[in-house]
Amino acid sequence: MDAAPLHTTVLLTEAVDALLAAPSPTQSHPLDGLYVDATFGRGGHTRELLARLTPKGRVLAFDRDPEAVAQSASITDTRFAIRQEGFSHISNLAHASADGILMDLGVSSPQIDTPGRGFSFRFEGPLDMRMDTTRGQSVAQWLVDASTEKIAEVIRDYGEERFAGPIAKAIVARRQERGPIASTTELAQLVADTVKTREPGQNPATRTFQAFRIFINAELEELKQALEAALDVLAPGGRLVVISFHSLEDRIVKQFIATHSKDEYDRRRPFAAPRPMRLRALGRSRPSAAEVSANARARSAIMRVAVRNAPELAA
């Protein structure tokens, strides 16, 4: 039996350092609090958190992938619990109950490198791409009757692909001539035959695969909901740490933090006091050259950090 694909956690130490840092020079961060690993994956960040927290500290993880949840069984620490749900479900946690929330976005190496999951154009496999394989449509099922216009919209909006129109037309033409596309390699070849130019070193199908994955899992909608929920769930002084891997995700995170890092005025009440800012942006960072050299999948990662504001923490 082949060994399970390995996963190397990106920005492991940096993310946990940021999550556990003190809210101000005069305060210490609670190492006996509740921390949320909103995207468990294969548990790298969770394990690092458990290693640093006190015996009273707790880690609650979320992941909708049943394989990830099954892998979590190897963590026998009683301070750990996991829920098989998308990370927007952090909204179900109590108000101001978490001392830190970590979101490590995208797909894990085991998901990409397992042909049966259908995430990668490098392997022959069913065109699935669902994070939760127990519910919802696969990409192949969606493509059975999706319109040319909808397919082009998805590829353009979620893949930022300038050849979205020709690719969509080719997919529908293929469906009409020989039936729906069912495998990853079929889709990858069709895109390669359609896209005649591409950036050096990038597979022509990269953007299309990204677009279909994001769409079929409603990833950007889930991210927006999770960020809004974090505002309510984080305790004053609690840290929000988000690692993104492509521009669409990072743009949402950047704009969310910027929006809530300034006082909010009600235009309908021009003389009313503004609502104080709810977050303070603490900057962004990227993996070191050494990390990128050791793990090529880290090269596009961006980590943004913010702290839940409170009057006593305001500058």
Is the residue at 1 inside a domain?
no
Using a pLDDT cut of 70, give the percent of the chain over it. 90
Q: Could you tell me the CATH number of the domain that includes residue 162?
A: 1.10.150.170
On whether both 252 and 273 belong to a single domain, the answer is yes
Is the residue at 119 inside a domain?
no
Higher pLDDT, 277 or 248: 248
pLDDT at residue 5 greater than cutoff 60: no
Using a pLDDT cut of 90, give the percent of the chain over it. 74
On whether both 75 and 205 belong to a single domain, the answer is no
Please tell me the predicted confidence (pLDDT) of residue 198: 73
On whether both 243 and 199 belong to a single domain, the answer is no
Please tell me the predicted confidence (pLDDT) of residue 214: 95
User: What angle in degrees, to the nearest 10, is found between the helix axes of 206-216 and 219-233?
Assistant: 50
What's the CA gap between 30 and 34, in Å, rounded? 9
Lowest mean pLDDT among 91-100, 152-161, 199-208: 199-208
On whether both 180 and 302 belong to a single domain, the answer is no
The rounded mean pLDDT for the chain is 89
On whether both 206 and 273 belong to a single domain, the answer is no
Which of 216, 246, 267 is the last residue before a domain boundary?
Answer: 216
pLDDT at residue 273 greater than cutoff 60: no
Is the residue at 84 inside a domain?
yes
pLDDT at residue 3 greater than cutoff 80: no
pLDDT at residue 282 greater than cutoff 80: yes
List, in sequence order, every beta strand (DSSP E) within the chain: 34-37, 58-62, 80-83, 98-104, 234-244, 279-285, 302-308
Higher pLDDT, 144 or 314: 144
Tell me the average pLDDT across 290-297: 90
Lowest mean pLDDT among 98-102, 130-134, 187-191: 130-134
Is the residue at 33 inside a domain?
yes
Structure tokens at 4: 């399970």
On whether both 240 and 295 belong to a single domain, the answer is yes
Is the residue at 28 inside a domain?
yes
The total domain count for the chain is 2
On whether both 204 and 59 belong to a single domain, the answer is no
Tell me the average pLDDT across 210-227: 96
On whether both 232 and 187 belong to a single domain, the answer is no
On whether both 94 and 179 belong to a single domain, the answer is no
Please tell me the predicted confidence (pLDDT) of residue 312: 41
DSSP state for residue 5 in the 8-state scheme: P
Is the residue at 230 inside a domain?
yes
Range of the domain at 141: 132-216
Please tell me the predicted confidence (pLDDT) of residue 303: 98
Burial class (CB in 10 A: 0-12, 13-18, 19+), 189: middle
Tell me the average pLDDT across 163-175: 97
What's the CA gap between 56 and 17, in Å, rounded? 19
Which of 166, 189, 216 is the last residue before a domain boundary?
Answer: 216
On whether both 275 and 307 belong to a single domain, the answer is yes
Please tell me the predicted confidence (pLDDT) of residue 263: 61
Q: Cβ(7)–Cβ(72) under 8 Å?
A: no
